Amino acid sequence: MKLDERHYWLGFNIFHGIGAKRFYHLLKIFGSAKKAWQVSESKLKQTKIPFAILENFLKFRETIDFNSALVRLEKNLIRFIIVDDEEYPKNLKKIDSPPPLIYIKGRILPQDALSIAVIGTRKITPYGREVTERLVKGLTAYGFTIISGLARGVDSIAHRLALGNGGRTIAVLGSGLDEIYPPEHKALAEKIINLGLGAVISCLGLGEPPLKGNFPSRNRIISGLSLGVLVTEGATVSGTKITSQFCLEQKRKLLAVPGPITSSFSEGPADLIKIGAKLITKVEDILEEIPAKGRSAFGRKITDRPKLSKLKKFNNKQEERIWQLLTDGGKHIDEIVQQIQLDPGQTLSYLTQMELNGMVKNIGQGNYILA
């Protein structure tokens, strides 16, 4: 197989020991990843790479099977993009030493530049759930892409709400894309990809487990992809705090929702507000922090959503119940059946008629939103 420049970027990514800063340093010295890969041992020593790493790299470059690595990616339907590619996220490219290469399933689109990271505790409370739902629905209605980490709690709720409201979302993993973590969110990751409403990405190669040491780099990417980081609920010491620190370093907007003082999960946002985070109680507070130019280019106003009075008259009370249920956000048909307690066949019939009348829209996989 004839190797090109991109293959060598992949090789450096697979090798453990040469991170982003060291890789960019090699590019600056040798001019390309290919030349850096093929250069002699004596010249590599002049770059001051630590001896142990250099020794391991010299062995690695002699034994790596590029064809096998590419076949494995293809088998898992995974692509990789490098920082020079057009698809590489513009926001992420602007941070110091961005990941040279990211693995991706799904698609990152230009409009994803208008994005907010929504993060918080894995042990979400009813209060945290309520404010996360309210703010994510509003952000999605304004056209924001929701960025999060596919974790339990706030992260998964943010992803689901974005999808349920027909919005876009990007999930960033702290593992390889073939090692979805937590495993119970594999279906959620597949939903993001299959609906065509976002992407699942990682800077870690296939087979990389979700080790604790991988999550700071993942949190750095979550912040780097976004114009701002919204913390809805979290403890004082947590991954949320680490992401917030990256947010400040990257000069992104730091946003935090105040919570009840009786809850330990309100301490994280409270601490952030003390050091200057924007206090958020409604989506309009977030819009004040995002440049109007970005909103006019990509967003739309919540008030543009069709009002009940402007819709065609309901044929029956069941259609009205379904419509009212969907005003709170998109729902899967199973959830609609459960909440309005109708026969599944009847519910599908009502939804089909409402779709024909322009009231609702099927966005795929049995998920419905208001049209």
Q: What is the mean pLDDT of residues 217-238?
A: 88
Q: What is the mean pLDDT of residues 343-371?
A: 84
Residues 278 and 317 in one domain: no
* Rounded CA separation 137/132 (Å): 8
Share of the chain above pLDDT 90, in %: 60
* Rounded CA separation 365/194 (Å): 9
Identify the weakest region by mean pLDDT among 65-69, 147-151, 364-368.
364-368
Residues 234 and 188 in one domain: yes
Which residue's entry shows tokens 């990789």? Answer: 80
Residues 240 and 199 in one domain: yes
Share of the chain above pLDDT 70, in %: 92
* Nearest in space to 253 (alpha carbons), one of 220, 228, 284, 234: 228
Name the DSSP class of 144.
Answer: P
Query: Is residue 78, in this structure, part of any structural domain at all?
Result: no
Strands (E), the chain: 79-82, 101-106, 115-120, 145-148, 169-172, 198-202, 228-233, 253-256, 278-279, 331-332, 360-364, 367-370
CATH of the domain at 363: 1.10.10.10
Strands (E), 98-187: 101-106, 115-120, 145-148, 169-172
The count of domains in the chain is 3
CA angle 289, 226, 168 (to 5 degrees): 105
- Distances in Å between the alpha carbon of 147 and those of 114, 163, 229, 230, 331? 10, 12, 9, 10, 20
Query: Is residue 94, in this structure, part of any structural domain at all?
Result: no
CATH of the domain at 276: 3.40.50.450
DSSP3 helix / strand / coil % (the chain, rounded to 5): 50, 15, 35
Residues 287 and 361 in one domain: no
Residues 183 and 284 in one domain: yes
Handedness of CA 8, 14, 17, 18 (dihedral sign): positive
Predicted structure pTM score: 0.78
Structure tokens at 330: 């998109």
* Rounded CA separation 275/325 (Å): 39
Residues 115 and 157 in one domain: yes
Give me the domain span that covers residue 337.
Answer: 308-370
Residue 360: pLDDT over 90: no
* Rounded CA separation 254/272 (Å): 8
Residues 286 and 312 in one domain: no
* Rounded CA separation 243/248 (Å): 9
Query: Is residue 97, in this structure, part of any structural domain at all?
Result: no
Question: Is the separation of the CB atoms in 64 and 36 below 8 Å?
Answer: no
For the stretch 136-158, pLDDT in tens is 998 998 889 999 999 999 999 99
